[in-house]
Structure 1
């Protein structure tokens, strides 16, 4: 992984933490997620229409990715209704790279050095320490299966999109059609689960959702491009440094308590990140 790709993925990680924070501050997490999906879906369609039409072999990857993304955001929105950003986010984001690494090692051709595996393992340990508060601080246990469901969806779309973008040969086109399809799938699911009330939103909700959409689109476009330049498992693991950004946002903006466990976990995450660069 080159330095430019490394820094690009770090910036994508910050953007990912930012849009999650924006969704978390909203009154209705599902409505906020829907607004974000609609805005980035419209932007994705405009960009996709400016690019060449995807080849037939790309369409199954896009369809699978749209389903994974819709499931991911649904699980995540429900999880945020049950717990704080600093608890849900580490569980949801932390489990995914372990799944991706295992599948990549068994079935994909990407070569990952032992030191990079060590970095991924340390990242995972830091994430596990960060998530322990769900079991020790009297928080809702319901957030755990919801966050794990989000993690499974994340692992699914990480693998599908990394391979799909390589097949397409045009990451910008791929991401554009992906977000357009995501909006097409996610909207009826939200309406079926929450009814028309999910569409009730203030002007402030639309502004917040629009900002979240911009951050989300930028974060994922960078990540998918990076997966065409470096091993998928390594990019997916490095993206999880967004947990560190999320903890800092929670501490400095939301006033979350920074205890010793969070500080240790943050140190492990930074150490794991450094190892992936050696």
Structure 2
């Protein structure tokens, strides 16, 4: 992995942690993810007219990824509702790199070398340590842990699908724009149905924070997709999970000043 790719993934990690922390600050998770997904969708819709269409081979990946991302949003909202952010977030993010390593070996024929494999193991071990530290002195919330593990599996699934898709697309910018436009429809559509006649009144107080989270989400994942066109999937996934440290720290600061 080149220094430029490494820097891009680390920047994506920090940006990703920021949007997750913003989402956590909005108590009603449906409101938060409606604004974040909707913000990403708007950015995607604005961008696609100015970008070339992804290559034909990328479209099955785009559709599959959009569906997996919808499941990810549902599972992440459930994880945040059931468990403490500092516990659920490391479990969800820490599960993904090991699963990505296996899936990438099977579907992308990428087997990490010794140093890369060691880095992946260390990253996952560190995230497990963060989660265990967060649970010290408390009875485990198995429902929250289960939701976080399921979230991690969805992260691994879309990571590999998007890694293959963006490589087939011919343009990382085009792929991320279309992905945001497609995946961002479901959560706002459900919110419109649920809050019939009260949608704007419900989301307006949190619009600035939520839409900022959407912009950060697009930026973070766009950087990751670009990196996946230039490096193997598993090392990129493991490096990105350094966001857990920033996310946990950000949550601690938020709680301290709440």
Q: Given the two structures, how large is their TM-score scaled by the length of structure 1?
A: 0.86
Unmatched 5+ stretches in structure 1: 257-278
Distance 2:135 2:34 in 1: 26
Quickly say closer, same or farther: Cα 1:82–1:183, change in 2 above 3 A.
same
Check conservation: 1:101, 1:233, Cα contact below 8 A: yes
Shift of 1:187: 3.3
Shift of 1:197: 8.5
Distance 1:214 1:108 in 2: 30
Distance 1:78 1:136 in 2: 23
Distance 1:7 1:253 in 2: 26
Shift of 1:139: 5.5
Distance 1:103 1:168 in 2: 20
Per the alignment, in what secondary structure is the counterpart of residue 121 of structure 1? helix
Shift of 1:165: 0.3
Per the alignment, in what secondary structure is the counterpart of residue 256 of structure 2? coil
Shift of 1:213: 0.5
Quickly say closer, same or farther: Cα 1:150–1:191, change in 2 above 3 A.
farther
Residue 106 of structure 1: aligned partner: 106
Residue 91 of structure 2: aligned partner: 91
Distance 1:183 1:176 in 2: 11
Check conservation: 1:85, 1:250, Cα contact below 8 A: yes
Residue 187 of structure 2: aligned partner: 186
Q: 2:74 matched to 1:74?
A: yes
Residue 45 of structure 1: aligned partner: 45
Per the alignment, in what secondary structure is the counterpart of residue 234 of structure 1? helix
**Deviation digits for residues 136-188 of structure 1 (CA, Å, limit 9, x no counterpart):** 52363321111112111101110010110000010000000001100223334
Shift of 1:47: 1.1
Moved more, 137-146 or 1-10: 137-146
Residue 216 of structure 1: aligned partner: 217
Residue 154 of structure 2: aligned partner: 153
Residue 55 of structure 1: aligned partner: 55
Check conservation: 1:100, 1:233, Cα contact below 8 A: yes
Quickly say closer, same or farther: Cα 1:31–1:198, change in 2 above 3 A.
farther
Residue 8 of structure 2: aligned partner: 8
Residue 19 of structure 2: aligned partner: 19
Distance 1:198 1:111 in 2: 51
Per the alignment, in what secondary structure is the counterpart of residue 59 of structure 2? helix
Shift of 1:108: 2.0
Quickly say closer, same or farther: Cα 1:197–1:12, change in 2 above 3 A.
farther
Distance 2:196 2:78 in 1: 17
Residue 260 of structure 1: aligned partner: none
Check conservation: 1:41, 1:183, Cα contact below 8 A: yes
Distance 1:178 1:66 in 2: 6
Q: Given the two structures, how large is their TM-score scaled by the length of structure 2?
A: 0.92
Quickly say closer, same or farther: Cα 1:221–1:2, change in 2 above 3 A.
same
Shift of 1:46: 1.3
Check conservation: 2:31, 2:203, Cα contact below 8 A: no
